[in-house]
Structure 1
């Protein structure tokens, strides 16, 4: 290492830092992405970083002092240190990476199928194709039954039925068949969104066609799907991992992911944004939002704990929309001026839906279809690790030994 400080003992390598902390390199990098440790570039190789010895010693001390069960539970489950090790996704310095590939850069050219191949890391996945799935008898009647139900509520029960094939346990025991089997699950989710069985065209093209879009719309949908594919240990991906850790099927992991995604603090945020957007007085937007903020009601979809300088995913997707969508641009600029907060990917998905005139609920559907690739990746990784996820609770109720 030839960092100008390395001639002293002030700086150590990543290997030495990980060893002193007693963690893997992946966890060391996670500490950096969380702002718990600072990485310093070396002069000889921009791809390698070094770490201040004093910073590492200080962090190691904090970890030793915080090993009480209560401290561990509080730090790991509330935007703290990672609870699991993963090689799938990294968030660092305001950027998102899929297996070391910058997600925003990937979104400029890749399809969701390309990203699935990358994240799943499976044999036979290099030429992934979403083949038509066989929908069970009566499924279209069920789809018609749920037609008047918001898609955020209908998608899970529809997928649970559409993905039943009786062969799940068989192909999931065969590593060579996992890629095609997982692709069939994506196809089933696509069918639930559009009502059509997938063909052999890329999923973004099929979605765009189903929604009456041309090449411009198809490319925006493609970009959104890629940007939604994974986001480290978010609530739905963690749920999928918990399900997979019990040796449940990939299908069940997706069902768990869909349940978590529907919540208003996750994928259901898109519905909250739609409601807030609809309520805006278009003739006096700034005053409307200012009154809401004064009443303690924030416009949803702005600010993200992992992106203090703004969500890179939202910036990429909105970059193709805001120049031609004045109303959305005014919302962004008003929120920036009043709160200093930048839009999140949830806001960007709603802006895309409205810009293209997609059906109601399409923002959530794009989120779900894209993120299902990540759920499968996390489920596969958790199964390979072979560990049951079973955190302990910090009991805060009455002491059972106390008198009534």
Structure 2
């Protein structure tokens, strides 16, 4: 019955009414509202009637499939790694009520004044505040490639993380961050990292927006790069190895490279207009987040994106794309959109969004790596074989 109902709904619809959601779920309204409050189903006000709500179709479908019958344990486990229920305990960050917290502190509030170095102190549980990053590095060559090489050169000589005192790990984490910073932000001066970036790019006026972006992008729960870092750390490998895993994962177009689709959309919009650019680009539901709109964990809008966009005046085309995109897709902009707008606004290098993201997220990867090591657990899920049986 559920599959028949799903087929009657236009699959290009991103948001459905409560009546449609209840028909798919086959439950009482109270159950629908409970799933919304627990973050399992995203909801937003109906633009046509703010007294009513609309519900994200993909979330409702997932819950309908979950409750269509008692699923086997293997099915539950498989779903857990695809935006499913939480699978790992952490004291690093939390996303609740569409807000992001670093060890209990609202990241938007932290971004008002904190630097990335101070946030590292918070995420790494350093009592005496932040850390200091020495000057270093040489100019020339792609920055992210240089960071990958620099980390790889440490992996076989750094000590394994397993069995070492937390204080020693934190000291090494600062050194690993310095290695990444020297590759991404080479400087002969000892400056806060946001100032090093602005100075290196010869855009001193961009220092404050960059500072905010670094803080807001430093950590985001169990995203794919953080998970990769934790898996590596769980083997006992060096912190540099865990960071290398995170950085390699970040380079994927569905993670750290998502901003590139935003810049491509901007170029297209400059030629044919924002509305037509989005219409012609949108060919499936899966493309919604590929050009900077929507986030599963923030149905009402990514608070990180909002905070970044408020720190500078973006070109008019970005404001138009943000509005038209939300009108057409029902999804506000996300952090990928904001980083692309930041880079364009201050005429930063083409890879600036990835450099900012990589430098910031290194702090989060190291926090996850150290927490995983201290847990003493190895991450080793089982695979469900679905190949040919002889």
| Structure-2 residue corresponding to 1:206 | 196
The 3-state SS of whatever aligns with 2:101 is strand
1:172-251 superposed matches below 5 A: 173-196=164-187, 199-214=189-204, 216-251=205-240
Displacement, 1:159? 3.7
Displacement, 1:267? 0.4
Whether 1:316 aligns to 2:321 is: no
| Structure-1 residue corresponding to 2:270 | 281
Rounded Cα–Cα distance in structure 1 between residues aligned with 2:121 and 2:329:
39
1:192-233 alpha-carbon deviations (Å, 9 max, x no partner)? 123335x4321111111111122x411111000000010000
User: Structure 1 residues 249, 287: closer, same or farther in 2, change over 3 A?
Assistant: same
| Structure-2 residue corresponding to 1:385 | 375
Is this contact kept in 1: 2:161–2:373, CA < 8 A?
Answer: no
User: Structure 1 residues 217, 358: closer, same or farther in 2, change over 3 A?
Assistant: same
1:245-303 alpha-carbon deviations (Å, 9 max, x no partner)? 00001100100001111111100112232233233334623223223336886561111
The 3-state SS of whatever aligns with 2:270 is coil
| Structure-1 residue corresponding to 2:105 | 101
The 3-state SS of whatever aligns with 2:91 is coil
Is this contact kept in 2: 1:131–1:184, CA < 8 A?
Answer: no
Whether 1:35 aligns to 2:25 is: no
The 3-state SS of whatever aligns with 1:243 is helix
User: Structure 1 residues 287, 127: closer, same or farther in 2, change over 3 A?
Assistant: closer
Rounded Cα–Cα distance in structure 2 between residues aligned with 1:172 and 1:294:
50
Is this contact kept in 2: 1:225–1:369, CA < 8 A?
Answer: yes
Rounded Cα–Cα distance in structure 1 between residues aligned with 2:110 and 2:368:
19
The 3-state SS of whatever aligns with 2:293 is coil
The answer for unaligned runs of 5 or more in structure 2 is: 1-35, 42-66
Is this contact kept in 2: 1:128–1:179, CA < 8 A?
Answer: no
Task: Work out which of the residue numbers 255, 261, 267 in structure 2 matches 1:272.
Answer: 261
Displacement, 1:324? 4.7
Instruction: Please identify the structure whose Cα radius of gyration is greater.
Output: 1
1:310-363 alpha-carbon deviations (Å, 9 max, x no partner)? 111101111223x45212111101101211111111111111011111111010
Rounded Cα–Cα distance in structure 2 between residues aligned with 1:279 and 1:153:
28
Is this contact kept in 2: 1:171–1:177, CA < 8 A?
Answer: no
Rounded Cα–Cα distance in structure 2 between residues aligned with 1:320 and 1:122:
28
Q: State the number of aligned residues.
A: 330
Rounded Cα–Cα distance in structure 2 between residues aligned with 1:152 and 1:380:
23
TM-score by length of 2: 0.76
Q: Over the residues paired in the alignment, what is the CA RMSD in angstroms?
A: 3.0
Is this contact kept in 1: 2:155–2:238, CA < 8 A?
Answer: no
Rounded Cα–Cα distance in structure 2 between residues aligned with 1:239 and 1:194:
24
User: Structure 1 residues 168, 357: closer, same or farther in 2, change over 3 A?
Assistant: farther
Whether 1:74 aligns to 2:78 is: yes
1:355-374 superposed matches below 5 A: 355-374=345-364
Rounded Cα–Cα distance in structure 1 between residues aligned with 2:324 and 2:219:
29
TM-score by length of 1: 0.74
Whether 1:120 aligns to 2:131 is: no
Is this contact kept in 2: 1:245–1:382, CA < 8 A?
Answer: yes
Is this contact kept in 2: 1:153–1:262, CA < 8 A?
Answer: no
The answer for unaligned runs of 5 or more in structure 1 is: 1-30, 37-61
Is this contact kept in 2: 1:172–1:249, CA < 8 A?
Answer: no
The 3-state SS of whatever aligns with 1:251 is helix
Displacement, 1:121? 1.1
| Structure-2 residue corresponding to 1:293 | 282
Is this contact kept in 1: 2:144–2:183, CA < 8 A?
Answer: no
